[in-house]
Chains A and B, each alone.
Chain A
Amino acid sequence: MDKNNIIKNLENLIKEGSLTKEELLEVYHRSLRTDKQEILSKQSRISNILYYIGGAIVFLGICIFVGTNWSNLSDLTKILATLGSSVMMYGAGALLARYENLQKVCSAFYFISGLIAPLGILVTMDIAGIDTSSAGSHTVTAAIIFAVQLISYYIDRRQVFFVFSVIFGTWLFFGLTTYLVGGRPFHDWDFIKYRWLAAGLTHMILGYSLADTNRKDLTRYLYGFGVVEFLTAALCLGGWSPHQSLIWELIFPGLTFGIIFLSVYLKARSFLVFGSLYLMIYILKITNEYFASGFGWALSLIVVGFALIGIGYFAFYLNKKYISQHK
């Protein structure tokens, strides 16, 4: 094969519009990647996972240490073991951040610090005689850590800070709304569901806002958690006969279809998977609620079975045609 001919062919394809700049660059970068690099990248991913597993084990160890020795430890030791550890881990992370080759270890230290921080603040509050089960103390705890993580992210654009900002921001939202309602006797469960609905929507849109940035690997997680939160809340808002909400029961299929069609537009598999799954759950719920006695349970099962096969095929078709091909 002559090189000039290949370049000529490529030129023709580009002129026709059959080959885009992105596609050409992707082929170029892909061909540069060697098997060795693939192995190194895989090893890096494994070591990354091990850092975070290690961090979670350290967190667990501190919890068990404080929990099992609660009555033997002095107040100062309790604070040092929890809040002190969190501050120290954060400090160690900040020191390690200076070394280029220790960036992943540094993130692991920040990860441990973020995990222990709420425990540390709540233990300190408990020692200070503040009721740690109240919405006010949870709001303050979440607000402090959210502010620290957000400022840290602003200074050092590290993924771990972003993830913790989302988690503690969500906690702050729940804490503050609970605090504002202050135990008032409204439909308590509906209030929880509406908040999860808002949280789910926020996570999904936040995921979308990251899709074209260098944080795009977080998009699928935010989509996944967001869609589950949103559809679970919407499904629960429908309730169950005789206390069902007809409006939510009627809206729900529209929401799931909306999510499924969004999966094509956004090329997001999690939207397709969870949209189809919740549509199946909805059909089972509605059949059981309204048609189990009228049609007869056996007949309902046949209808549901075919409906599920239909949804399954539809999801498979959409995935094959619009999502897998694109990816």
Chain B
Amino acid sequence: MSENKKNVPLIVALSIPVLMIVLITLSIYVPALFVKPQFDFIYGTGHNYCRDYRYAVQNERIIQLEIKDKNEKNSCPNNWTPRLFYYDVQNKTSQEITFKEAKKYRLDSRYKSPDGFEIVSGDRSFDIFFIGGSSYGDKFLKKGAYARRLDVKSRYYYDFIFLGWVKEGDHGQK
């Protein structure tokens, strides 16, 4: 009994990090069981001022905007073309679509989806153990304590252009 009593501080000390790991795990995986995002979205990549046009949303529809003051060819080292993707939140997949296909959807270009989700970059945490580097280039679907990594096709954090949430009941929307 007295030997057990002597070990109490040791057990308490070791249970603190273990408890924190359990709590972190629960806080990440439990909300994922109950939170179900409903709205798919459309995003673009490869937008730059080297091309003749870029994509934008006007009156709930995707349009091609002409770029009048585009960069000189010399300052355009890469050959990125603006591309459009349809993100299916339930199947967690990105599907490339054409401009013609994208025009079919009515989009809500507000920052937050009608069910309260937003698309944000990962954190930039870095501590003395040099762990993890930065996840700023990754995109997450976030609402409160829930956050899910998105499988988007952007090359860098600035390559991702959110265009809009596909409106409820629209073509393709669940």
Q: Which A residues fall within an 8 A CB radius of B?
A: 133-135, 138, 169, 171, 173-186, 188-189, 191-192, 194-195, 198-199, 201-203, 205-206, 208-209, 212
Residue of B nearest to A200 (CB): B16
What's the nearest-Cβ distance from chain A to residue B118, in Å? Answer: 10
Q: Quick check: A135 and B138 within 8 Å, CB to CB?
A: no
- B54-83 vs A, CB cutoff 8 Å, 1 = contact: the mask equals 000000000000000000000000000000
Given known contacts A177-B20, A201-B16, A205-B12, is B132 in contact with A185 (CB within 8 Å)?
no
- B12-34 vs A, CB cutoff 8 Å, 1 = contact: the mask equals 11101100110011001000000
Chain B interface extent, by class: 20 to 34
8 A Cβ contacts from B119-174 to A: 120-125, 127, 129-135, 138, 140, 142, 145, 147, 149
- Name the A residues within 8 Å of B12 (CB-CB): 205
Instruction: Classify the interface of chain A: helix, strand, loop or mixed.
Output: helix
Given known contacts A180-B25, A185-B123, A188-B123, is B149 in contact with A174 (CB within 8 Å)?
no
What's the nearest-Cβ distance from chain B to residue A207, in Å? Answer: 9
Given known contacts A185-B123, A185-B147, is B21 in contact with A133 (CB within 8 Å)?
no
Q: Quick check: A205 and B132 within 8 Å, CB to CB?
A: no
Q: Say if the beta carbon of B10 comes within 8 Å of chain A.
A: yes
Q: Which B residues fall within an 8 A CB radius of A?
A: 6-7, 9-10, 12-14, 16-17, 20-21, 24-25, 28, 120-125, 127, 129-135, 138, 140, 142, 145, 147, 149
When chains A and B are docked, how far (Å) is the Cα of A32 from the Cα of B75? Answer: 84
Q: Quick check: A135 and B122 within 8 Å, CB to CB?
A: no
What's the nearest-Cβ distance from chain B to residue A221, in Å? Answer: 15
Q: Quick check: A209 and B129 within 8 Å, CB to CB?
A: no
Given known contacts A177-B20, A198-B16, A205-B16, is B123 in contact with A134 (CB within 8 Å)?
no
Q: Quick check: B125 and A178 within 8 Å, CB to CB?
A: yes
Given known contacts A199-B17, A205-B12, is B28 in contact with A181 (CB within 8 Å)?
yes
- Name the B residues within 8 Å of A176 (CB-CB): 21
Given known contacts A185-B147, A188-B125, A191-B125, is B17 in contact with A173 (CB within 8 Å)?
yes
- Name the B residues within 8 Å of A178 (CB-CB): 125, 127, 131-132
Given known contacts A184-B140, A205-B16, is B9 in contact with A173 (CB within 8 Å)?
no
- Name the B residues within 8 Å of A174 (CB-CB): 127, 129, 131
Q: Quick check: B122 and A185 within 8 Å, CB to CB?
A: yes
- Name the B residues within 8 Å of A209 (CB-CB): 7, 9-10, 13
Q: Quick check: B14 and A202 within 8 Å, CB to CB?
A: yes
Q: Quick check: B132 and A183 within 8 Å, CB to CB?
A: yes
When chains A and B are docked, how far (Å) is the Cα of A198 from the Cα of B21? Answer: 11
